[in-house]
Amino acid sequence: MRWDQLSREDAAGALFGTDAVTTRTFDTPEFRGITFHEIRARSILNRVPGASRMPFEWTVNPYRGCSHACVYCFARKTHSYLDLDTGQDFDTQIVVKTNAAELLRRELAAPRWQGDHVAMGTNVDCYQRAEGRYRLMPGILAALRDHGNPFSILTKGSLILRDLELVRQAARVTDVSIALSVGFLDGELWRSVEPGTPSPQTRLAVCRTLTENGIASGVLMAPVLPFLSDSPEQLRATVRAIAEAGAGSITPLVLHLRPGAREWYMAWLARNHPHLVRRYETMYAGGSYAPKWYQRQITRQVHEFAAEFGCGPGGRGTSRRLAAPDEQEAAAAEAPEAVRAAAPVPAPADTQLTLM
């Protein structure tokens, strides 16, 4: 494995040294067949490339690789930087940034950090199965809460409910938004294309619980799979279930097939739906994205169904709202004792990182 390939675009050198890697396996049913590579990262706030279509500039990714094993995952290409394959290795070779929380606390305190929105779960899921063992997110959420830093989380996992109280505390002092990813309801299709995830119904139950607890939550209806989950009847049923779960918004996104994911998805398609291979080759002949006319058609249909069931399209959220110091202290004081005890202590000023 070539760890040195995991390097920053804006600075020389790897994000961590090869001598800082500990490899572990756990002989338990939920982790059988998965290898974890524990590393101490040198940076955790990642700047999104300017050419990206993402509507945010900064991300935090405590993991690389994902046991959700979604065959279409666009993040698969990132594993090739480590000389790992974008198929089976992406699903079973998980990089864990064990110092993510303490590092984030230091970077948020750096003089040059301007308190920009931080997005999580946009590369791989921060609430994938590994989080149940490594528990990186409580420290990450506590750091964001204590700095009043706005953030969003996109997840297919139900484990976020473990951290519900921390999310509620953060929402009192800054802008917080949560989105569940639910592209379709078909159980057979789910088990085939998203084998490591909670069921769509479980994810919608998470959305309902978040909403009932006053946390703004929406659904990224993604991906819509051409010829597999895109009929008007399927779209309407999915939108109806999302609306009934209390989602504040629905944002549809058609499948896109970037290099790394494309090969893995097309191999899955050839095994499971060989009659669709030619149609996909035609639809995606122009690149990673479906034709604009098709994307517009799906978006229009989903928005029409959303209007029917009283659930509007998604927005980009509001600007940052910093809480007064007494509000931040009150929120921190309400944190469970175990969380307060585990929260990393801010580093002295002379050891703070400067983001270039």
- Condensed to tens digits (0 to 9), the pLDDT of residues 35-45 reads 999 999 999 99
Q: Are 88 and 25 in contact (CB under 8 A)?
A: no
Global model pTM greater than 0.95:
no
- Cα–Cα dist 248/309, whole Å: 11
| Mean pLDDT in residue range 41-53 | 81
185, 164 contact by CB (below 8 A): no
* Torsion sign over Cα 48, 65, 118, 100: negative
Q: Which two tokens stand for residue 325?
A: 């110091």
Helix, strand, coil percent content, the chain, rounded in steps of 5: 40, 15, 45
Give the H/E segment covering residue 95: strand 93-97
pLDDT for 45: 96
Lowest mean pLDDT among 153-162, 227-236, 313-322: 313-322
CA distances from 332 to 105, 136, 141, 225 (A): 14, 18, 11, 43
3-state secondary structure of 281: helix
Higher pLDDT, 43 or 84: 43
- Sign of CA pseudo-dihedral 67, 68, 69, 73: negative
Please report, to the nearest 10 degrees, the dihedral formed by the alpha carbons of residues 155, 117, 96, 163 taken in order: -50
Beta bridge partners of 155: 180
238-268 pLDDT, tens digit each: 999 999 999 999 999 999 999 989 999 999 9
Task: Output the average pLDDT for the chain.
Answer: 84
Q: Which residues pair with 79 in a beta bridge?
A: none
Question: Two tokens at 94?
Answer: 């998980």
58 bridge partner residues: 47, 118
Residues 324-355: tens digit of each pLDDT: 333 333 333 333 333 333 333 333 332 222 22
* Residue 347: Cβ within 10 Å count: 16
pLDDT at 204: 98
pLDDT of residue 84: 84
Task: Note the Cα 237 to chain centre separation in Å.
Answer: 25
Residue 346 per-residue DSSP state: P
The region, left, alpha or beta by phi > 0 then psi within -120 to 50, assigned to residue 141 is: alpha
Q: What is the 3-state secondary structure (H, E, C) of 139-183?
A: HHHHHHHHCCCCEEEEECCCHHHHHHHHHHHHHHHCCEEEEEECC
Q: What tokens appear for 49 in the block?
A: 């490339």
Q: Across residues 267-289, what is the average pLDDT?
A: 97
